[in-house]
Structure 1
Amino acid sequence: MQVVITAVGPDNRGLADPIVHSVTALGANISEIQMFDHDQESVFSMLTRVEIDPGQRTKVEEAMAGVAESTGLSVRTWSPDICGRKPRVAICVTFRPETPRAILEAIQDGAIKATPSVMIGNREKCHSLADEFGVPWENIADEDGIPDDERLIDICDEHQVDYIVLARYMRVLPAASCWKYAGGRIINLHHGLLPSFPGIRPYHEAYASRMLTFGATCHFIVPELDAGNQIIYQSTFTVPPGQTVDEVVRQGQERNEPHCLVEGVRRVVDGEVKLHFNRVVATHR
Protein backbone atom coordinates (compact mmCIF):
# COMPACT_ATOMS: atom_id res chain seq x y z
CA MET A 1 0.00 0.00 0.00
CA GLN A 2 1.00 3.63 -0.42
CA VAL A 3 1.63 5.90 2.55
CA VAL A 4 2.26 9.66 2.43
CA ILE A 5 4.30 11.16 5.27
CA THR A 6 4.45 14.93 5.78
CA ALA A 7 6.66 16.74 8.27
CA VAL A 8 6.65 20.46 9.06
CA GLY A 9 8.47 22.32 11.80
CA PRO A 10 11.33 24.56 12.91
CA ASP A 11 14.29 24.26 10.57
CA ASN A 12 17.31 22.40 11.90
CA ARG A 13 19.95 19.94 10.78
CA GLY A 14 19.30 16.24 10.33
CA LEU A 15 15.49 16.38 10.14
CA ALA A 16 15.11 14.30 6.97
CA ASP A 17 17.40 11.45 8.00
CA PRO A 18 15.28 9.91 10.78
CA ILE A 19 12.23 9.79 8.50
CA VAL A 20 14.10 8.13 5.65
CA HIS A 21 15.97 5.70 7.89
CA SER A 22 12.81 4.71 9.78
CA VAL A 23 10.78 3.78 6.70
CA THR A 24 13.60 2.03 4.88
CA ALA A 25 14.35 -0.02 8.00
CA LEU A 26 10.77 -1.28 7.77
CA GLY A 27 11.29 -2.36 4.17
CA ALA A 28 9.50 0.56 2.53
CA ASN A 29 10.23 1.56 -1.06
CA ILE A 30 10.50 5.35 -1.37
CA SER A 31 8.78 6.61 -4.52
CA GLU A 32 8.87 10.36 -3.88
CA ILE A 33 10.65 12.84 -1.63
CA GLN A 34 10.16 16.61 -1.61
CA MET A 35 11.84 18.98 0.83
CA PHE A 36 11.70 22.72 1.24
CA ASP A 37 13.28 25.21 3.63
CA HIS A 38 11.38 28.44 4.22
CA ASP A 39 14.52 30.40 5.06
CA GLN A 40 12.81 33.65 6.05
CA GLU A 41 10.45 31.78 8.40
CA SER A 42 13.00 29.13 9.47
CA VAL A 43 10.51 26.39 8.63
CA PHE A 44 11.36 22.92 7.30
CA SER A 45 8.83 20.98 5.18
CA MET A 46 9.08 17.45 3.79
CA LEU A 47 6.87 15.00 1.93
CA THR A 48 7.80 11.33 1.61
CA ARG A 49 5.70 8.89 -0.39
CA VAL A 50 6.44 5.21 0.23
CA GLU A 51 5.15 1.80 -0.77
CA ILE A 52 4.91 -0.66 2.13
CA ASP A 53 3.41 -4.00 3.00
CA PRO A 54 -0.04 -3.27 4.53
CA GLY A 55 0.97 -5.15 7.65
CA GLN A 56 3.72 -2.59 8.29
CA ARG A 57 1.48 0.48 8.34
CA THR A 58 1.06 0.55 12.12
CA LYS A 59 4.82 0.26 12.58
CA VAL A 60 5.35 3.18 10.18
CA GLU A 61 2.89 5.29 12.17
CA GLU A 62 4.61 4.38 15.43
CA ALA A 63 8.00 5.21 13.94
CA MET A 64 6.77 8.61 12.74
CA ALA A 65 5.32 9.36 16.17
CA GLY A 66 8.80 8.74 17.52
CA VAL A 67 10.33 11.05 14.93
CA ALA A 68 7.84 13.78 15.85
CA GLU A 69 8.73 13.46 19.52
CA SER A 70 12.48 13.51 18.98
CA THR A 71 12.59 16.32 16.39
CA GLY A 72 9.65 18.57 17.31
CA LEU A 73 8.25 18.22 13.79
CA SER A 74 4.53 18.09 13.08
CA VAL A 75 4.35 14.68 11.35
CA ARG A 76 1.34 13.09 9.63
CA THR A 77 0.93 9.72 7.97
CA TRP A 78 -1.90 9.08 5.55
CA SER A 79 -2.77 6.53 2.89
CA PRO A 80 -4.89 7.12 -0.22
CA ASP A 81 -5.59 3.36 -0.22
CA ILE A 82 -8.74 3.70 1.90
CA CYS A 83 -10.50 0.44 2.73
CA GLY A 84 -13.68 -0.34 4.66
CA ARG A 85 -15.05 3.20 4.64
CA LYS A 86 -15.65 6.19 2.43
CA PRO A 87 -13.07 8.99 2.24
CA ARG A 88 -13.75 11.78 4.72
CA VAL A 89 -13.83 15.34 3.37
CA ALA A 90 -13.75 18.78 4.99
CA ILE A 91 -15.54 21.47 2.99
CA CYS A 92 -14.11 24.98 3.44
CA VAL A 93 -16.30 27.97 2.56
CA THR A 94 -16.60 31.74 2.76
CA PHE A 95 -19.63 33.42 1.16
CA ARG A 96 -20.87 31.56 -1.90
CA PRO A 97 -23.18 28.59 -1.20
CA GLU A 98 -23.50 27.14 -4.71
CA THR A 99 -20.35 25.02 -4.79
CA PRO A 100 -20.58 23.56 -1.25
CA ARG A 101 -24.25 22.78 -1.86
CA ALA A 102 -23.34 21.00 -5.08
CA ILE A 103 -20.73 18.91 -3.23
CA LEU A 104 -23.16 18.00 -0.45
CA GLU A 105 -25.91 17.09 -2.94
CA ALA A 106 -23.49 14.97 -4.98
CA ILE A 107 -22.46 13.13 -1.82
CA GLN A 108 -26.10 12.68 -0.85
CA ASP A 109 -26.95 11.33 -4.32
CA GLY A 110 -23.96 8.99 -4.38
CA ALA A 111 -22.17 10.74 -7.25
CA ILE A 112 -19.29 11.50 -4.87
CA LYS A 113 -18.59 8.49 -2.67
CA ALA A 114 -17.39 10.33 0.41
CA THR A 115 -18.44 11.38 3.90
CA PRO A 116 -18.77 15.12 4.65
CA SER A 117 -17.09 15.14 8.06
CA VAL A 118 -17.08 18.88 8.72
CA MET A 119 -17.73 22.25 7.10
CA ILE A 120 -15.25 24.99 7.97
CA GLY A 121 -15.90 28.67 7.32
CA ASN A 122 -14.27 32.04 7.83
CA ARG A 123 -17.71 33.67 7.61
CA GLU A 124 -21.14 32.59 8.87
CA LYS A 125 -22.81 32.75 5.46
CA CYS A 126 -22.88 28.96 4.90
CA HIS A 127 -23.64 27.91 8.49
CA SER A 128 -27.28 27.24 7.61
CA LEU A 129 -26.18 25.03 4.70
CA ALA A 130 -24.19 22.85 7.07
CA ASP A 131 -27.22 22.61 9.37
CA GLU A 132 -29.47 21.69 6.43
CA PHE A 133 -27.29 18.69 5.57
CA GLY A 134 -26.48 17.77 9.15
CA VAL A 135 -22.76 18.46 8.82
CA PRO A 136 -20.77 19.79 11.82
CA TRP A 137 -19.93 23.49 11.42
CA GLU A 138 -16.78 25.30 12.55
CA ASN A 139 -16.08 29.02 12.17
CA ILE A 140 -12.31 29.57 12.44
CA ALA A 141 -12.17 33.34 11.86
CA ASP A 142 -12.36 36.54 13.84
CA GLU A 143 -15.01 39.19 13.25
CA ASP A 144 -13.08 40.45 10.20
CA GLY A 145 -13.02 37.02 8.56
CA ILE A 146 -9.31 36.46 9.20
CA PRO A 147 -8.95 32.71 9.78
CA ASP A 148 -6.93 30.81 12.34
CA ASP A 149 -5.02 28.60 9.88
CA GLU A 150 -3.67 26.31 12.59
CA ARG A 151 -7.19 25.74 13.89
CA LEU A 152 -8.28 24.68 10.39
CA ILE A 153 -5.61 21.99 10.35
CA ASP A 154 -6.44 20.96 13.93
CA ILE A 155 -10.11 20.48 12.99
CA CYS A 156 -9.17 18.36 9.98
CA ASP A 157 -6.91 16.27 12.20
CA GLU A 158 -9.69 15.86 14.79
CA HIS A 159 -12.10 14.60 12.12
CA GLN A 160 -9.40 12.42 10.51
CA VAL A 161 -10.08 14.10 7.18
CA ASP A 162 -8.69 12.55 4.02
CA TYR A 163 -9.32 15.50 1.68
CA ILE A 164 -9.78 19.23 2.24
CA VAL A 165 -12.10 20.76 -0.37
CA LEU A 166 -11.84 24.53 -0.84
CA ALA A 167 -15.31 25.34 -2.19
CA ARG A 168 -14.80 29.02 -2.99
CA TYR A 169 -12.91 29.46 0.27
CA MET A 170 -11.61 32.96 -0.32
CA ARG A 171 -8.45 32.82 1.77
CA VAL A 172 -4.99 31.66 0.78
CA LEU A 173 -3.69 28.74 2.81
CA PRO A 174 -0.18 29.38 4.16
CA ALA A 175 2.65 27.20 2.92
CA ALA A 176 2.90 25.32 6.23
CA SER A 177 -0.76 24.23 5.98
CA CYS A 178 -0.28 23.13 2.38
CA TRP A 179 2.71 20.99 3.38
CA LYS A 180 0.89 19.41 6.33
CA TYR A 181 -1.80 18.08 3.98
CA ALA A 182 0.45 17.74 0.93
CA GLY A 183 0.42 14.87 -1.52
CA GLY A 184 -2.89 15.55 -3.27
CA ARG A 185 -5.07 16.06 -0.21
CA ILE A 186 -6.19 19.68 -0.76
CA ILE A 187 -8.59 20.31 -3.67
CA ASN A 188 -9.41 23.86 -4.76
CA LEU A 189 -11.90 25.49 -7.09
CA HIS A 190 -10.51 28.50 -8.94
CA HIS A 191 -13.25 30.50 -10.66
CA GLY A 192 -11.24 31.04 -13.83
CA LEU A 193 -9.31 29.11 -16.43
CA LEU A 194 -5.75 28.35 -15.40
CA PRO A 195 -3.09 29.18 -16.26
CA SER A 196 -4.54 32.08 -18.28
CA PHE A 197 -6.52 33.85 -15.55
CA PRO A 198 -5.02 33.15 -12.11
CA GLY A 199 -6.08 36.38 -10.37
CA ILE A 200 -8.79 37.11 -7.83
CA ARG A 201 -11.17 38.54 -10.52
CA PRO A 202 -10.80 36.03 -13.38
CA TYR A 203 -14.26 36.65 -14.89
CA HIS A 204 -13.57 40.37 -15.19
CA GLU A 205 -10.05 39.81 -16.50
CA ALA A 206 -11.32 37.41 -19.17
CA TYR A 207 -14.14 39.80 -20.04
CA ALA A 208 -11.67 42.68 -20.39
CA SER A 209 -9.69 40.47 -22.81
CA ARG A 210 -12.88 40.16 -24.92
CA MET A 211 -13.20 36.45 -24.24
CA LEU A 212 -16.49 34.75 -25.09
CA THR A 213 -15.61 31.48 -23.36
CA PHE A 214 -15.22 31.45 -19.59
CA GLY A 215 -14.48 28.66 -17.19
CA ALA A 216 -13.43 27.26 -13.85
CA THR A 217 -10.57 25.03 -12.75
CA CYS A 218 -10.46 22.33 -10.11
CA HIS A 219 -6.88 21.68 -9.05
CA PHE A 220 -4.73 20.29 -6.29
CA ILE A 221 -3.21 22.84 -3.94
CA VAL A 222 0.55 23.07 -3.62
CA PRO A 223 2.38 25.87 -1.78
CA GLU A 224 2.50 28.03 -4.94
CA LEU A 225 -0.81 29.85 -5.49
CA ASP A 226 -2.82 28.53 -8.47
CA ALA A 227 0.21 26.80 -9.98
CA GLY A 228 -0.51 25.44 -13.43
CA ASN A 229 0.51 21.77 -13.36
CA GLN A 230 -2.00 20.47 -10.82
CA ILE A 231 -5.22 20.69 -12.86
CA ILE A 232 -7.74 17.93 -12.15
CA TYR A 233 -10.65 19.18 -14.27
CA GLN A 234 -11.77 22.28 -16.16
CA SER A 235 -15.21 23.21 -17.44
CA THR A 236 -16.25 26.09 -19.68
CA PHE A 237 -19.28 27.95 -20.96
CA THR A 238 -19.69 30.29 -23.91
CA VAL A 239 -21.69 33.50 -24.05
CA PRO A 240 -22.87 35.53 -27.07
CA PRO A 241 -21.17 38.79 -28.02
CA GLY A 242 -22.46 41.68 -25.96
CA GLN A 243 -23.26 39.64 -22.87
CA THR A 244 -22.81 41.67 -19.69
CA VAL A 245 -20.07 40.78 -17.24
CA ASP A 246 -22.66 40.47 -14.46
CA GLU A 247 -24.50 37.78 -16.43
CA VAL A 248 -21.21 35.99 -17.13
CA VAL A 249 -20.43 35.94 -13.42
CA ARG A 250 -23.94 34.71 -12.59
CA GLN A 251 -23.73 31.82 -15.05
CA GLY A 252 -20.30 30.88 -13.79
CA GLN A 253 -21.18 30.96 -10.11
CA GLU A 254 -24.57 29.27 -10.34
CA ARG A 255 -23.90 26.55 -12.90
CA ASN A 256 -20.36 26.12 -14.15
CA GLU A 257 -18.39 26.34 -10.89
CA PRO A 258 -20.53 23.75 -9.02
CA HIS A 259 -20.25 21.30 -11.93
CA CYS A 260 -16.49 21.79 -12.14
CA LEU A 261 -15.82 21.19 -8.47
CA VAL A 262 -18.12 18.17 -8.23
CA GLU A 263 -16.42 16.44 -11.14
CA GLY A 264 -12.96 17.29 -9.85
CA VAL A 265 -13.67 15.95 -6.36
CA ARG A 266 -15.27 12.83 -7.84
CA ARG A 267 -12.15 12.09 -9.88
CA VAL A 268 -9.95 12.34 -6.81
CA VAL A 269 -12.24 10.39 -4.47
CA ASP A 270 -12.69 7.64 -7.07
CA GLY A 271 -8.93 7.38 -7.45
CA GLU A 272 -8.87 8.30 -11.14
CA VAL A 273 -6.06 10.83 -10.64
CA LYS A 274 -3.33 11.49 -8.12
CA LEU A 275 -0.62 14.05 -7.50
CA HIS A 276 2.96 12.88 -8.02
CA PHE A 277 5.92 15.27 -7.88
CA ASN A 278 3.40 18.13 -8.13
CA ARG A 279 1.91 16.82 -11.37
CA VAL A 280 -1.48 15.24 -11.88
CA VAL A 281 -1.22 11.73 -13.28
CA ALA A 282 -3.90 9.22 -14.19
CA THR A 283 -3.99 6.09 -12.09
CA HIS A 284 -4.14 2.66 -13.69
CA ARG A 285 -6.35 0.26 -11.77
Structure 2
Amino acid sequence: MEVVITALGPDNVGLADPIIHYVTGQGARIAEIQMYDHDEEQLFAMICRIDIQRNQYQPLVDAMRQIGQHTKLAIRVWSSERRAPDKPRLAICCTYKDDTPRAVLEAIAAGTIGADAAVLISNRGKLQGLAEEFGVPFSMIGDENGAADDAAMVDVLDEFDVDYVVLARYMRVLPPSTCWQFAGGRIVNLHHGLLPGFPGFRPYHDAFAARMLTFGATCHFIIPELDAGNQTINQRTFSVSPGTPLDAIIEQGGRENEPACLVEGVRRVVDREVYLHFHRVVARSTP
Protein backbone atom coordinates (compact mmCIF):
# COMPACT_ATOMS: atom_id res chain seq x y z
CA MET A 1 0.00 0.00 0.00
CA GLU A 2 1.49 3.32 -1.08
CA VAL A 3 1.22 6.03 1.59
CA VAL A 4 2.17 9.71 1.56
CA ILE A 5 3.15 11.45 4.80
CA THR A 6 3.39 15.24 4.88
CA ALA A 7 4.59 17.38 7.75
CA LEU A 8 4.59 21.15 8.18
CA GLY A 9 5.36 23.35 11.13
CA PRO A 10 7.78 25.62 13.03
CA ASP A 11 11.39 24.80 12.17
CA ASN A 12 13.46 23.05 14.81
CA VAL A 13 16.10 20.36 15.05
CA GLY A 14 15.29 16.67 14.73
CA LEU A 15 11.76 17.09 13.45
CA ALA A 16 12.05 14.33 10.85
CA ASP A 17 13.74 11.84 13.16
CA PRO A 18 10.67 10.38 14.93
CA ILE A 19 8.78 10.07 11.63
CA ILE A 20 11.61 8.25 9.87
CA HIS A 21 12.38 6.14 12.94
CA TYR A 22 8.79 4.93 13.16
CA VAL A 23 8.31 4.03 9.50
CA THR A 24 11.64 2.24 9.22
CA GLY A 25 10.93 0.45 12.48
CA GLN A 26 7.74 -0.91 10.91
CA GLY A 27 9.69 -2.26 7.96
CA ALA A 28 8.31 0.29 5.51
CA ARG A 29 10.07 0.85 2.20
CA ILE A 30 10.81 4.54 1.67
CA ALA A 31 10.24 5.37 -2.00
CA GLU A 32 10.62 9.16 -1.74
CA ILE A 33 11.60 11.69 0.87
CA GLN A 34 12.02 15.46 0.58
CA MET A 35 12.68 17.94 3.36
CA TYR A 36 12.86 21.73 3.23
CA ASP A 37 13.84 24.35 5.78
CA HIS A 38 12.40 27.75 4.89
CA ASP A 39 14.75 29.84 7.00
CA GLU A 40 13.10 33.19 6.26
CA GLU A 41 9.77 31.84 7.49
CA GLN A 42 11.26 29.52 10.15
CA LEU A 43 9.20 26.73 8.60
CA PHE A 44 9.93 23.04 8.21
CA ALA A 45 8.24 20.99 5.47
CA MET A 46 8.55 17.34 4.56
CA ILE A 47 7.02 14.73 2.29
CA CYS A 48 7.70 11.01 2.62
CA ARG A 49 6.26 8.32 0.34
CA ILE A 50 6.39 4.78 1.70
CA ASP A 51 5.10 1.29 0.99
CA ILE A 52 3.47 -0.65 3.83
CA GLN A 53 1.03 -3.48 4.39
CA ARG A 54 -2.63 -2.43 4.44
CA ASN A 55 -3.07 -3.53 8.07
CA GLN A 56 -0.31 -1.09 9.06
CA TYR A 57 -2.16 1.96 7.78
CA GLN A 58 -4.32 2.83 10.80
CA PRO A 59 -1.52 2.26 13.32
CA LEU A 60 0.60 4.59 11.17
CA VAL A 61 -2.13 7.25 11.28
CA ASP A 62 -2.34 6.96 15.06
CA ALA A 63 1.45 7.09 15.49
CA MET A 64 1.80 10.17 13.28
CA ARG A 65 -0.96 11.91 15.24
CA GLN A 66 1.02 11.38 18.44
CA ILE A 67 4.26 12.53 16.81
CA GLY A 68 2.50 15.64 15.51
CA GLN A 69 1.27 16.50 18.98
CA HIS A 70 4.77 16.12 20.38
CA THR A 71 6.62 18.03 17.63
CA LYS A 72 3.91 20.65 16.95
CA LEU A 73 3.88 19.58 13.28
CA ALA A 74 0.77 19.34 11.13
CA ILE A 75 1.22 15.74 9.94
CA ARG A 76 -1.07 14.14 7.38
CA VAL A 77 -1.13 10.49 6.38
CA TRP A 78 -2.86 9.66 3.12
CA SER A 79 -3.08 6.94 0.51
CA SER A 80 -4.84 6.86 -2.84
CA GLU A 81 -5.78 3.28 -1.91
CA ARG A 82 -7.20 4.01 1.54
CA ARG A 83 -10.88 3.98 0.54
CA ALA A 84 -10.83 1.03 -1.85
CA PRO A 85 -13.26 -0.27 -2.94
CA ASP A 86 -15.09 3.01 -2.15
CA LYS A 87 -14.56 6.09 -4.33
CA PRO A 88 -12.14 8.91 -3.49
CA ARG A 89 -13.57 12.25 -2.41
CA LEU A 90 -12.98 15.45 -4.37
CA ALA A 91 -13.06 19.09 -3.33
CA ILE A 92 -13.89 21.19 -6.40
CA CYS A 93 -12.61 24.76 -6.09
CA CYS A 94 -13.89 27.54 -8.33
CA THR A 95 -14.56 31.28 -8.48
CA TYR A 96 -16.66 32.76 -11.32
CA LYS A 97 -16.71 30.46 -14.35
CA ASP A 98 -19.06 27.50 -14.12
CA ASP A 99 -18.18 25.61 -17.34
CA THR A 100 -15.22 23.78 -15.84
CA PRO A 101 -16.58 22.85 -12.38
CA ARG A 102 -19.88 21.88 -14.03
CA ALA A 103 -18.01 19.54 -16.39
CA VAL A 104 -16.33 17.84 -13.44
CA LEU A 105 -19.64 17.45 -11.59
CA GLU A 106 -21.33 16.10 -14.71
CA ALA A 107 -18.48 13.62 -15.27
CA ILE A 108 -18.83 12.41 -11.69
CA ALA A 109 -22.58 12.01 -12.12
CA ALA A 110 -22.05 10.10 -15.37
CA GLY A 111 -19.40 7.83 -13.87
CA THR A 112 -16.65 9.11 -16.16
CA ILE A 113 -14.76 10.26 -13.08
CA GLY A 114 -14.95 7.51 -10.48
CA ALA A 115 -15.13 9.77 -7.44
CA ASP A 116 -17.57 11.53 -5.14
CA ALA A 117 -17.95 15.31 -5.04
CA ALA A 118 -17.44 16.01 -1.33
CA VAL A 119 -17.64 19.82 -1.37
CA LEU A 120 -17.58 22.84 -3.69
CA ILE A 121 -15.24 25.54 -2.35
CA SER A 122 -15.16 29.12 -3.60
CA ASN A 123 -13.81 32.52 -2.69
CA ARG A 124 -16.96 34.02 -4.20
CA GLY A 125 -20.64 33.21 -3.73
CA LYS A 126 -21.57 33.17 -7.43
CA LEU A 127 -21.48 29.39 -7.92
CA GLN A 128 -23.43 28.37 -4.84
CA GLY A 129 -26.36 27.58 -7.13
CA LEU A 130 -24.17 25.12 -9.04
CA ALA A 131 -23.45 23.24 -5.83
CA GLU A 132 -27.15 23.18 -4.98
CA GLU A 133 -28.01 21.92 -8.48
CA PHE A 134 -25.81 18.86 -7.96
CA GLY A 135 -26.60 18.41 -4.27
CA VAL A 136 -23.03 19.16 -3.15
CA PRO A 137 -22.17 21.11 0.03
CA PHE A 138 -20.94 24.63 -0.67
CA SER A 139 -18.25 26.38 1.37
CA MET A 140 -17.50 30.07 0.81
CA ILE A 141 -14.03 30.95 2.11
CA GLY A 142 -13.69 34.46 0.66
CA ASP A 143 -14.40 37.87 2.14
CA GLU A 144 -16.44 40.63 0.49
CA ASN A 145 -13.50 41.38 -1.82
CA GLY A 146 -12.89 37.75 -2.77
CA ALA A 147 -9.72 37.39 -0.70
CA ALA A 148 -9.52 33.74 0.31
CA ASP A 149 -9.03 32.53 3.87
CA ASP A 150 -6.43 29.84 3.17
CA ALA A 151 -6.56 28.43 6.69
CA ALA A 152 -10.33 28.08 6.36
CA MET A 153 -9.83 26.14 3.11
CA VAL A 154 -7.56 23.65 4.87
CA ASP A 155 -10.17 23.28 7.63
CA VAL A 156 -12.87 22.55 5.03
CA LEU A 157 -10.67 19.99 3.27
CA ASP A 158 -10.13 18.23 6.59
CA GLU A 159 -13.79 18.50 7.59
CA PHE A 160 -14.90 16.75 4.41
CA ASP A 161 -12.01 14.25 4.51
CA VAL A 162 -10.96 15.08 0.96
CA ASP A 163 -8.60 12.95 -1.10
CA TYR A 164 -7.98 15.29 -4.04
CA VAL A 165 -8.30 19.06 -4.45
CA VAL A 166 -9.42 20.07 -7.96
CA LEU A 167 -8.78 23.69 -8.91
CA ALA A 168 -11.42 24.21 -11.60
CA ARG A 169 -10.56 27.81 -12.57
CA TYR A 170 -10.11 28.77 -8.91
CA MET A 171 -8.80 32.30 -9.31
CA ARG A 172 -6.49 32.40 -6.31
CA VAL A 173 -2.92 31.19 -5.83
CA LEU A 174 -2.61 28.57 -3.10
CA PRO A 175 0.10 29.43 -0.55
CA PRO A 176 3.04 27.03 -0.11
CA SER A 177 1.74 25.99 3.31
CA THR A 178 -1.45 24.58 1.76
CA CYS A 179 0.50 22.96 -1.07
CA TRP A 180 2.82 21.25 1.40
CA GLN A 181 0.01 19.84 3.51
CA PHE A 182 -1.58 18.24 0.44
CA ALA A 183 1.63 17.47 -1.43
CA GLY A 184 2.38 14.25 -3.24
CA GLY A 185 -0.11 14.58 -6.08
CA ARG A 186 -3.29 15.58 -4.26
CA ILE A 187 -3.85 19.02 -5.86
CA VAL A 188 -4.90 19.09 -9.53
CA ASN A 189 -5.09 22.41 -11.38
CA LEU A 190 -6.40 23.58 -14.73
CA HIS A 191 -4.31 26.23 -16.48
CA HIS A 192 -6.10 27.87 -19.40
CA GLY A 193 -3.03 27.81 -21.65
CA LEU A 194 -0.41 25.43 -22.96
CA LEU A 195 2.49 24.98 -20.54
CA PRO A 196 5.34 25.64 -20.50
CA GLY A 197 4.91 28.01 -23.46
CA PHE A 198 2.13 30.23 -22.10
CA PRO A 199 2.12 30.55 -18.30
CA GLY A 200 0.67 33.46 -16.34
CA PHE A 201 -2.79 34.92 -16.00
CA ARG A 202 -3.42 35.83 -19.68
CA PRO A 203 -2.31 32.83 -21.78
CA TYR A 204 -4.97 33.37 -24.46
CA HIS A 205 -3.85 36.95 -24.91
CA ASP A 206 -0.19 35.96 -25.00
CA ALA A 207 -0.76 33.20 -27.56
CA PHE A 208 -2.92 35.53 -29.64
CA ALA A 209 -0.20 38.20 -29.56
CA ALA A 210 2.27 35.56 -30.76
CA ARG A 211 -0.07 34.98 -33.73
CA MET A 212 -0.75 31.39 -32.71
CA LEU A 213 -3.57 29.51 -34.44
CA THR A 214 -3.54 26.63 -31.94
CA PHE A 215 -4.61 27.26 -28.34
CA GLY A 216 -4.91 24.91 -25.43
CA ALA A 217 -5.22 24.08 -21.77
CA THR A 218 -3.06 22.14 -19.33
CA CYS A 219 -4.13 19.97 -16.40
CA HIS A 220 -1.26 19.58 -13.96
CA PHE A 221 -0.35 18.78 -10.39
CA ILE A 222 0.31 21.71 -8.07
CA ILE A 223 3.52 21.52 -6.04
CA PRO A 224 4.99 23.88 -3.41
CA GLU A 225 8.02 24.85 -5.51
CA LEU A 226 6.58 26.92 -8.33
CA ASP A 227 9.71 26.76 -10.44
CA ALA A 228 10.11 22.97 -10.35
CA GLY A 229 8.26 22.34 -13.63
CA ASN A 230 4.69 22.10 -14.81
CA GLN A 231 3.88 18.47 -13.78
CA THR A 232 1.57 17.93 -16.75
CA ILE A 233 -1.18 15.32 -16.46
CA ASN A 234 -3.11 16.18 -19.63
CA GLN A 235 -3.14 18.79 -22.39
CA ARG A 236 -5.81 19.53 -24.96
CA THR A 237 -5.72 21.89 -27.93
CA PHE A 238 -7.99 23.44 -30.53
CA SER A 239 -7.19 25.30 -33.73
CA VAL A 240 -8.81 28.39 -35.21
CA SER A 241 -8.81 30.05 -38.61
CA PRO A 242 -6.68 33.14 -39.30
CA GLY A 243 -8.53 36.27 -38.28
CA THR A 244 -10.60 34.63 -35.52
CA PRO A 245 -11.24 37.31 -32.86
CA LEU A 246 -9.66 36.86 -29.45
CA ASP A 247 -13.04 36.95 -27.70
CA ALA A 248 -14.27 34.03 -29.82
CA ILE A 249 -11.12 32.06 -29.04
CA ILE A 250 -11.48 32.62 -25.30
CA GLU A 251 -15.16 31.68 -25.44
CA GLN A 252 -14.49 28.44 -27.30
CA GLY A 253 -11.61 27.52 -25.03
CA GLY A 254 -13.57 28.14 -21.85
CA ARG A 255 -16.73 26.43 -23.05
CA GLU A 256 -15.27 23.33 -24.70
CA ASN A 257 -11.53 22.81 -24.42
CA GLU A 258 -10.79 23.64 -20.79
CA PRO A 259 -13.57 21.50 -19.28
CA ALA A 260 -12.63 18.49 -21.42
CA CYS A 261 -8.96 18.89 -20.52
CA LEU A 262 -9.62 18.95 -16.78
CA VAL A 263 -12.11 16.08 -16.81
CA GLU A 264 -9.64 13.77 -18.54
CA GLY A 265 -6.83 14.87 -16.25
CA VAL A 266 -8.86 14.25 -13.09
CA ARG A 267 -9.96 10.87 -14.47
CA ARG A 268 -6.34 9.83 -14.97
CA VAL A 269 -5.48 10.77 -11.39
CA VAL A 270 -8.58 9.21 -9.80
CA ASP A 271 -8.13 6.00 -11.80
CA ARG A 272 -4.52 5.92 -10.56
CA GLU A 273 -3.07 5.91 -14.06
CA VAL A 274 -0.51 8.53 -13.04
CA TYR A 275 1.03 9.81 -9.83
CA LEU A 276 3.58 12.37 -8.71
CA HIS A 277 7.06 11.13 -7.76
CA PHE A 278 9.84 13.59 -6.88
CA HIS A 279 7.78 16.36 -8.55
CA ARG A 280 7.47 14.42 -11.81
CA VAL A 281 4.39 12.78 -13.30
CA VAL A 282 4.89 9.03 -13.61
CA ALA A 283 2.63 6.47 -15.29
CA ARG A 284 1.79 3.56 -13.03
CA SER A 285 2.84 0.18 -14.36
CA THR A 286 -0.07 -2.13 -15.05
CA PRO A 287 -0.10 -5.47 -13.20
Residue equivalent to 1:24: 24
Take 1:157 and 1:84, find their aligned partners in 2: how far apart are those partners? 21
1:104–1:116 Cα contact (<8 Å) kept: yes
Cα deviation code 1:262-281 (max 9, x no counterpart): 00000000011000000000
What is the letter of the counterpart of residue 172 of structure 1? V
Give the aligned length. Answer: 285
1:12/1:173 CA distance change after superposition, 3 Å = same
Cα deviation code 1:194-238 (max 9, x no counterpart): 001111000000000010000000000001347534100000000
Residue equivalent to 1:126: 127
What is the letter of the counterpart of residue 277 of structure 1? F
Residue equivalent to 2:44: 44
Identity %, equivalent residues: 60
1:198–1:226 Cα contact (<8 Å) kept: no
Residue equivalent to 1:68: 68
What is the letter of the counterpart of residue 12 of structure 2? N
What is the letter of the counterpart of residue 3 of structure 1? V
Matching of residue 161 in structure 1 with residue 151 in structure 2: no
Residue equivalent to 2:140: 139
Secondary structure of the residue aligned to 1:40 is: helix
1:219/1:227 CA distance change after superposition, 3 Å = farther
What is the letter of the counterpart of residue 183 of structure 2? A
Take 1:226 and 1:191, find their aligned partners in 2: how far apart are those partners? 18
Give how far 1:256 is off: 0.3
1:118–1:137 Cα contact (<8 Å) kept: yes
2:118–2:137 Cα contact (<8 Å) kept: yes
Take 1:181 and 1:172, find their aligned partners in 2: how far apart are those partners? 14
Cα deviation code 1:228-261 (max 9, x no counterpart): 3410000000000011110110010000000000
Take 1:241 and 1:28, find their aligned partners in 2: how far apart are those partners? 58
Residue equivalent to 1:116: 117
Secondary structure of the residue aligned to 1:113 is: coil
1:87–1:114 Cα contact (<8 Å) kept: yes
Poorly superposed stretches of 4+, deviation over 4 Å: none
Take 1:149 and 1:270, find their aligned partners in 2: how far apart are those partners? 28
Take 1:229 and 1:204, find their aligned partners in 2: how far apart are those partners? 20
Unpaired runs of at least 5, structure 2: none
Cα deviation code 1:43-102 (max 9, x no counterpart): 111000000011111111111011101100000000111313101000000000000000
TM-score normalised by length of structure 2: 0.98
Secondary structure of the residue aligned to 2:41 is: coil
TM-score normalised by length of structure 1: 0.98
Take 1:37 and 1:108, find their aligned partners in 2: how far apart are those partners? 42
Q: Which residues of 2 match residues 1-285 of structure 1 at below 5 A?
A: 1-81=1-81, 82-225=83-226, 228-285=229-286
1:194–1:228 Cα contact (<8 Å) kept: no
2:4–2:79 Cα contact (<8 Å) kept: yes
Take 1:144 and 1:233, find their aligned partners in 2: how far apart are those partners? 33
What is the letter of the counterpart of residue 243 of structure 1? T
CA RMSD of aligned residues (A): 0.9
